[in-house]
Structure 1
Amino acid sequence: MSQSVAKKSEADTPPPSAPPAGGGLKGHPWLTLLTVAVGVMMVALDGTIVAIANPVIQEKLHAAPSEIQWVTSGYLLALAVFLITAGKIGDRFGHKTTFLTGAVGFAAASAAIGFAGNIQTVIVFRVLQGLFGALLQPAALGLLRGAFPAERLNMAIGIWGGVIGASTAAGPIVGGLLVEHVNWESVFFINVPVGLLALGLGLWILLDVRAEKAAKSFDLPGIALLSAGMFALVFGIIKAPTWGWGNGRTLLCLIGAAVLMVLFALWQTRAKEPLIPLGLFRSVPLSAGTLLMVLMAFAFFGALFFVTFYLQNVHGMSPVEAGVHLLPMTVMMIVGSPVAGLAIGRFGPRIPIVAGMLLTTVAMYGMSTLDTGSGNGVMALWFVMLGLGISPVMVGATEVIVGNAPLELSGVAGGLQQAAMQVGGSLGTAVLGALMAARVGDRLSEKWAAAGLPPVEGEQAEGLKQAAQLGIAPPAPPGTSQQAADTMAGVVHESFVSGMSLAFAIAAVVAFGAAVLGLLTRRGSTDAGPAVHV
């Protein structure tokens, strides 16, 4: 392993455990945590809150279905592609400056979307939102590492993870309330005061954090190759459900991503100051933690994607009601993340991670048994178990990745952790979605014929199939009896639930694989935080 990876910088010093003398609240660990939590809350909330507003945006701006898809896809794509480079920017210029730039840029892009008069402008500024959001997340981890001593870092990451989990889960509730009682623009305008609050707190509270050994130049060829490779990978995953996994365009994207990643790896062995020194991955715990984050996100985000459709379209709930029914999971993530931080601080990450993924496996299997008539009690049970199971994994995998990276690469490690989550979530949603769609199509044909319903052909059949993949019962033709209409809705809902059950069953298998991988993790070997500069 290279010296830059294996050896700590002599100039690096442990972070203060209390506010610096004479510095007032500047650099206070818990206020630093509050500040970065406010910033990352915007990014996490935006990942789900906009989904509720998309139907209204499509209607008000007269957007085509392909255009409205890019309101979400453009944001996620920019976020995933730029995360590692954003981490490198934080390592080079300081995490405080990077964090504040991200907060201001994210809020400004949000305001621009609110004033947009057409869908093209919305998409452009959603991409900018993703780019600025990518600046925020790795910088937040770097700031936490600089503010907290090693023995309290796990607790801080636990609370930080709880904020992200709660914000992600609260998105449908907040979005539903704003769209229903204000307008779709308010979904974006809400980020403006939050961003200003993050800016004010950041200027008042944050100390600059950077490592003395951070690279003084940028690996521009490496950034170009990695960005192009990540773009091809995530774009291919996003488009695969539409194009088809065997389609030439999908294969071109995925093969192109593989080629670009190989070229990136080869270049990193030659670059004077590489973007990601490959020696970083000689750390088995760090590599295991990165893959663990991919598998966790694959299972969690991929399977959870279908839950909102299940609650709204099968059980007939409003978006707000669906969000309320997810509160057991949200609450458990809020409570579980700090508790997980304490447990990891005492026992190390391995036991909590393995236990969390096993609990997640059980929860995923339990959710695969849900049917069209499942009650609130049984749903709440599996949501509680899922929240408790995911919490130690979010916290533990983050600690493993960031803690096992050298100090001068703390930002890159934070970007790697977030990129792994984005890729895993996108891959899980696409793969499980494709498998679910195939199952729904098969079951729909069988059940439709078995129920004695009149055959549907051509475009009407394709529309019925696409609606069934979301659990939407199509309107009954004029003159159809109520009994026949109920039978049609029942067939669609049962077909959807059959596909959802398959997705959860596969997610359970992936979660179990992640539990086995968790056995390779261990506490970070780099205990000291980066040097702190005012």
Structure 2
Amino acid sequence: MTVRWGTATARGVLATTILGSGMAMLDGSIVNVALPRIGEEFQASVSGLQWILDGYLLALASLILVAGSLGDRYGRRRVFLIGVVWFGVASALCGLAMSTEMLVVTRILQGVGGALLTPGSLAILQSTFAHDDRARAIGAWSGLGGVAAAVGPLLGGLLVQAWSWRLGFLINPPLAVVCLWLARKYVPESRDETMSGRPDVLSSVLGALGLAGITAALVEAPSRGVGSPLVWITALLGVAGLAAFVRLQLRAGDPLVPPALFTDRTFSLANGLTFVVYAALGGVMMLLVLQLQVSLGYSPTAAGVAGLPLTLVMLVLSGRSGALAQKIGPRVQLIVGPLLIAAGMLLMMRIGPGASYLGAVLPAVLVFGLGLATVVAPVTATVLAAAPDEHAGVASGVNNAIARAGGLLAIAVLPAVAGLTGESYSDPAALTAGWRMALLVCAGLAVVGGLLAIGVRNSVLQDEPAAAEGPDLAECLHCAVDSPPTHAHR
């Protein structure tokens, strides 16, 4: 069934996909703002807070590559609906969690739902709308999705402050019910009839095992000690899982991640840049909300509003940044963007007890946001343009999975590097010292990203206008605001 722009069905399909992906975006904003309150209620340690974030990212990064292919094979609407139900139920369980451990488990389940849900949003638009209406539909989805990202931090703060951090999770089940009704009423089923065989679930399992083992070792080593049997066992399992994953990709006839993609220098460098920049971003975004609320005494709502200018800068400038990269080539922006991010992080070192919003917080957030707007759209476009056309979907999935993995590992490592262990994050003096150390590390990572970009082929976008326009506002916001990626399907 082909849907034309302007019809009731078209509006229903747009509402369904925007609401589905918007749930995940709002959830990411709310959890970041809610971390201090969660830690206070459960008396959680730093490692507990790390797992609350990393549990979700772990499931997402592990499953995002295979999730799209499930929709292509078994029906995009079907998998989308499963993802919506799964995400809604897992959100309810998160809101009812009675301990840190229970919340971590339910967050992992929520990540599974997010992986099933979000890639299907764009896939549904691409397969449902008539060819000459797709750009308009995706543009509308992008713009309205950007509005959801913009209001997310403010809404998150209001929900947390109005009653409890639990409300931030319990808002999702009603939204999921509405999304289900819209999808069943308006969204036609579609699948790729040419696909045969089964999805490469084994690769996803091995990748998940590898990431989980490495993450567990990094998170638990500071509190248990590097000599702990748990740390060593999980580290060995992680290394073995990743090694088996790589070996399987090298030998498989239809690998989940085609190794040939990485023979292109620009593809490899752009993904390396993605990894270090999103590692820096993930670490800073975790600690910024803690610093604002614990050390500066901000309420959850004020902390959410404090980061709003970052999203607004992304809203205004990301599309222009993608267009500029198409005209002049991406290299300059891929070098300058990470350097601006590093400068913003160094400015954030002034955010300490007694610092004013206008004098310290706002300038740093604006420079940081300008750096993100400069680099995010061009790096995604570069990755897609450097890949062969037949691998465009998986190239996007690889880039988004690498971004998630970067944030995952940064959240696991950075608190220990910054000297934050146990419940030290609740002490303003200790948190501020760790915050400043973390900023130095993250700024260094961003600079490494800029250096990697020197080797990027500047002409990569000249023959790929669609690639430069494709990763528009939603692609940038879904990645940069720490939400699931937009179109990682094969």
| TM-score (normalised: structure 2) | 0.78
Aligned to 1:362: 343
Matched, 1:300 2:281: yes
Pick closer, same or farther for the CA change 1:156–1:281 going to 2, 3 Å: farther
1:27-70, CA deviations, whole angstroms, 9 ceiling, x for partnerless residues? 68xx866643432222233234235556766787x787687775
Aligned to 2:485: none
Superposed, which structure 2 residues align to 1:272-421 within 5 Å?
A: 272-377=253-358, 378-405=360-387, 409=391, 411-421=393-403
CA distance in 1, matches of 2:364, 2:5: 50
CA distance in 2, matches of 1:371, 1:162: 30
User: Given the alignment, which residue of 218, 237, 250 partners 1:256?
Assistant: 237
Alpha-carbon contact 2:38-2:165 (below 8 Å) kept: yes
User: Given the alignment, which residue of 226, 246, 267 partners 2:207?
Assistant: 226
CA distance in 1, matches of 2:7, 2:83: 25
Aligned to 2:411: 429
Which structure: larger Rg?
1
Aligned to 1:472: 427
CA distance in 2, matches of 1:72, 1:217: 31
Aligned to 1:512: 447
CA distance in 1, matches of 2:5, 2:122: 25
Aligned to 2:476: none
Pick closer, same or farther for the CA change 1:337–1:175 going to 2, 3 Å: same
1:64-106, CA deviations, whole angstroms, 9 ceiling, x for partnerless residues? 7687775544333322322222233234334443333212321
User: Given the alignment, which residue of 88, 91, 110 partners 2:91?
Assistant: 110
Pick closer, same or farther for the CA change 1:394–1:103 going to 2, 3 Å: farther
Q: Which consecutive unaligned segments of at least 5 residues does structure 2 have?
A: 471-490
* Most deviating of 328-337 and 91-100: 91-100
* Most deviating of 501-510 and 196-205: 196-205
Pick closer, same or farther for the CA change 1:331–1:297 going to 2, 3 Å: same
Alpha-carbon contact 1:105-1:132 (below 8 Å) kept: yes
Aligned to 2:438: 503
CA distance in 1, matches of 2:349, 2:122: 35
- Residue 305 of structure 1: how far off its partner (Å): 2.1
* Most deviating of 125-134 and 112-121: 112-121
- Percent identity reads 31
Alpha-carbon contact 2:54-2:411 (below 8 Å) kept: no
- Residue 376 of structure 1: how far off its partner (Å): 1.7
Q: 3-state DSSP class of the match of 1:269?
A: helix
Aligned to 1:8: none
Alpha-carbon contact 2:58-2:405 (below 8 Å) kept: no
Pick closer, same or farther for the CA change 1:246–1:436 going to 2, 3 Å: farther
- Residue 314 of structure 1: how far off its partner (Å): 1.9
- Residue 430 of structure 1: how far off its partner (Å): 2.9
Superposed, which structure 2 residues align to 1:13-52 within 5 Å?
A: 24=7, 26=9, 35-50=16-31
User: Given the alignment, which residue of 137, 159, 166 partners 2:150?
Assistant: 166
1:330-371, CA deviations, whole angstroms, 9 ceiling, x for partnerless residues? 321232333334434544544433332222122122223444
Pick closer, same or farther for the CA change 1:235–1:142 going to 2, 3 Å: farther
CA distance in 1, matches of 2:435, 2:40: 28
Pick closer, same or farther for the CA change 1:245–1:92 going to 2, 3 Å: farther
CA distance in 2, matches of 1:194, 1:126: 18
Q: 3-state DSSP class of the match of 1:275?
A: coil
Aligned to 2:487: none
Aligned residue pairs, count = 459
Pick closer, same or farther for the CA change 1:292–1:250 going to 2, 3 Å: farther
1:279-328, CA deviations, whole angstroms, 9 ceiling, x for partnerless residues? 23223333333222211111112123222222222222222222222222
Alpha-carbon contact 1:354-1:515 (below 8 Å) kept: yes
Alpha-carbon contact 2:415-2:438 (below 8 Å) kept: yes
CA distance in 2, matches of 1:59, 1:91: 43
Superposed, which structure 2 residues align to 1:455-470 within 5 Å?
A: 469-470=424-425
Pick closer, same or farther for the CA change 1:435–1:260 going to 2, 3 Å: same
- Residue 437 of structure 1: how far off its partner (Å): 0.8
Q: 3-state DSSP class of the match of 2:199?
A: coil
Aligned residue identity for 2:313? M
Pick closer, same or farther for the CA change 1:137–1:274 going to 2, 3 Å: same
- Residue 256 of structure 1: how far off its partner (Å): 3.1
- Residue 417 of structure 1: how far off its partner (Å): 2.9
Matched, 1:195 2:130: no
Aligned residue identity for 2:67? A
Aligned to 2:157: 176
Alpha-carbon contact 1:162-1:336 (below 8 Å) kept: no
Alpha-carbon contact 2:14-2:137 (below 8 Å) kept: no
- Across the aligned residues of Structure 1 and Structure 2, the Cα RMSD in angstroms comes to 3.9
